[in-house]
Amino acid sequence: MNNSKKILAIAASVAMLGSLAACGNSGSSSSGSGSSEDVKLLVWTPQEDQKAGWIQDQEKAFEKAHPEYKITWTNKVVSEGDTGTTVKKDPAAAADVYLFANDQLGMLVEANAIGELSDSAAEQVKADNDEAMVQSVTNDGKLYGVPFTGNTWFMYYNKSKLSDADVKNFNTMMDKAKVSFSIDNSWYLPAFYYANGGTLYGPDGTDASAGAQFGGEQGAAVTKFLAENIAAGKIIDDVDGSGLAGLGNGSVDVIFSGTWDAENVKKALGDNYAAAQLPTVTIDGKEQQMKSFAGSKAVAYNPNSKFQKVAAQFAAFLGSEEAQLAHYEKRGVVPTIKSLLDNDKVKNDIAAQAQAATIANTAVLQPTITEMSNFWDPTQAFGKALVQKDVTPDNAAEKTEAWVAQLNKQ
């Protein structure tokens, strides 16, 4: 496709999305035929997007697609993980357009710092993405922002040590290979508790009153399983990159991480590089599916923007098919749009396919309600106690109940 056709395609994509602003939020308007409107937009992206030139390229393409605007751009470095807390300090002074990790959605909505999608934009996002990605940007039945990549973790392994059949079950892998897992990382540890029937804030993660249900006999059985296998040396704690280093020196055969580690894992494993969705795990004789937290990273506009209409259009533009493909080509950021997952480049990407399979088959949507702020620190502390063997098979039930009580403390 030549450049002129690409520009037309992008413009058409944005037109289909329509204004992201909800009804009544019209923002500034075009100054009429034959003249251009002066617009100033502050854009926040991670440093990697600016270093690779992705955001600058998209800004130039947007200008070509919208000659009715004369735009002065200001780009500042704010990572997706820091957006929520940075915006909350002063929503009116925050970026007009920003990228964010969806676990901050509740915080952004409460701060009135994120624009709701219009009906037409919401329908387009639903058509482009699978249900998990749609739900990742949904709050109280309303959609905010356009997802541009999935955010989850899966399994990398040395295929000279483990077959396709071996990696379907965690216990089999422990028996045949050296498995590294981030036990003391609260984003990873819940996978085992979900496998044995646990829930967090109800079945869909939105019911704060339901609390954390990781205790009881089922939760104690998980804790005992982990304590036994840590003590036996069958689970090696992956801390400070030790798992990745172990892949390189042969002391580890399996790690659990995400697409951000793909290039490093390739270098470590070479021809033995492989990845897959999460395995099942057998606890108390029952084989059940491990489940990772899944979410998205998305692009949004600030409803406090002085140029809300243009900000909404540019947010849509950054989530479009052309922009997502460019993001993948420049930085390896795996797209969410279903048609792009069938793109030859993405289809041949082992990590991209493992991520897509995980989100579709072996993940739960990470809760975005504000009560999740109570989850991370106690869970990390509990994981560390497991690694340090302060939690043992004998005290597993007692320690599990103490941890869950902390999670449910008001």
**Coil, helix or strand at residue 114:** coil
118: Cβ contacts below 8 Å, ≥ 6 apart: 18, 19, 20, 21, 22, 23
pTM: predicted TM-score of the whole model, two decimal places = 0.84
pLDDT digits (tens, 9 = 90+) for 144-188: 999 999 999 999 999 999 999 999 999 999 999 999 999 999 999
381: Cβ contacts below 8 Å, ≥ 6 apart: none
Percent of the chain having pLDDT more than 90? 84
184 touches 237 (CB < 8 A): yes
For position 369, what pLDDT does the model report? 87
Tally of residues, the chain:
410
For position 410, what pLDDT does the model report? 67
pLDDT digits (tens, 9 = 90+) for 301-338: 999 999 999 999 999 999 999 999 999 999 999 999 99
- DSSP letter for each residue of 115-160: PBPPHHHHHHHHHHS-HHHHHHTEETTEEBSEEEEEE--EEEEETT
Highest mean pLDDT among 32-36, 134-138, 220-224: 220-224
- DSSP letter for each residue of 148-214: EEEE--EEEEETTT--TTGGGBHHHHHHHS-EEE-TT-TTTTHHHHHHTT-EESTTTT--GGG-EE-
Token readout for 315 is 């947010």
pLDDT digits (tens, 9 = 90+) for 269-292: 999 999 999 999 999 999 999 999
> What pLDDT band is residue 25 in, cutting at 50, 70 and 90?
very low
For position 34, what pLDDT does the model report? 60
pLDDT digits (tens, 9 = 90+) for 116-143: 988 888 898 999 999 999 999 999 899 9
